[in-house]
Structure 1
Amino acid sequence: MRRLTSLWLAGCIGIAGCSKKEEGPPHPAAELPAPEDSPAQPSGPPPGTLPREGEAAAKPPVHVVLPSDGGMVPVAQAEQEPEDAPEAAPTPPPVPPTPAPAAGAATGQPPEDVKNREWTAGNVTLKRAPGMPVTLRSVRAGQHADFDRVVFEFDGASLPGYRLEYVDKPIIKCGSGDPTTVAGKGWLQVTLTPARGHDDKGQATVAERELKPGLPVILELERTCDFEGEVTWVLGNKGPNKYRVMELHEPTRLVVDVQH
């Protein structure tokens, strides 16, 4: 038996030239297809992800997927701040704007007394500290529905002090001491101080010293004084009707209303 096997091997080598060992059959598992539910290995970050930048680029790649509805998703552990990270400084509350000072406070003078805007037939006085006289630039009068109005307009932002009162005849001019005639039966005298009705050259800033506006109550206005920081005008009214006083600014004005 051994002899027959040896003869068979010798004949195979001599005839077929069998110099290489034949390979065995392939393993059955190598020919099996990949299961359908096995996930494909991505070659890069999945679509819809954010690239890592800065310090996060040195950490293991963790992709955060943004949902299409704009909602929030949990951040991976590698993206969270360390527990000992300093907290952001709180935003300081907004500083409310500083209110603008009243006109009197801005010039160092007492502000307007709102009680003077009430109707009265008595005396009205508001004193202001002596200083540079305020220049009177214009005097005008007009009619309104229930009252006549006289407006004294000044240069700059300051108003002089003032005193208003009904006076009796005779009406006296301060410079000469001479009496003057003013129409009406109620004479409302308006005294402004410190003020002046002329410029540095001595020229009058209000050319007309007598005005006759022909209003329902105010019949005449006459300047009776412009001397040593004092300016005085007298309103000749039909009678001692009630009046009120108010201060206005931009431009600077003193307004006197006399009721009908």
Structure 2
Amino acid sequence: MAERVTMIGFDADDTLWHNEHYFVLTQDHFADLLHDHTDPSTLMDRLLVAERRNIPHYGVGIKGFTLSMIETAIEVTNGKVPAPVIAEILNAGREMLSHPVDLLPYAWETLEALQGRYKLVLITKGDLLDQERKLALSGLRGMFDGIEIVSDKNPATYTRIFNQYGDGATRGMMVGNSVKSDVVPMVDAGGWGVHVPHGQTWALEHAETPDDSPRFRQIADLSKLEQVLA
């Protein structure tokens, strides 16, 4: 690397701990609740449309997801969704907001190995209270020099954060499971983007990898990050 990396940003959900798994389980339950009104595939398509429509209003996270499920239930039942179904959807949302935090393989070991050698900052987007809860339960708070919970991840976001905590984006690296949020905007900001694929990634986070960029890397898991840095 022509310019030595001095700061590393880490995504949280599905990079350091499991998250999408709980959304998938809730979607399966949602499909069961509405099985008399539409098939699962159609329901998921309608739900995704609702989520995309609602993100500018509710942001990314479980609360917006729950509201999108309710809205979709109203739509597919032509406004006749039973009150008990609405209550069950709300309950499912509350359960998601209290799910356990299970670290992904090598998350702890990788952060521990890099601590003190690089400036480490957690950069995650989503609901503030939920992200703070998960961070507290993860036990990883002390590993980071800074915590940034943002509403969106774009080049301007990364430019600001890497200027604030480090030596600018050109000497920074962002590590995450989302090509759209963690990799592409960081590369566009002039930094390094490292993609760590996760088996379950939200459809709205899919994007083409910037394979033509010299500042893009992809690794199988976090244990390979030090090889990239070396």
Q: If each structure's helix is expressed as a fraction of its own residues, which one has the higher value?
A: 2
Taking structure 2 as the reference length, what is the TM-score of the superposition?
0.24
Which structure dedicates a bigger proportion of its chain to strand? 1
The structure with higher relative contact order (CA 8 Å, sep 6+) is 2
User: Bigger radius of gyration, 1 or 2?
Assistant: 1
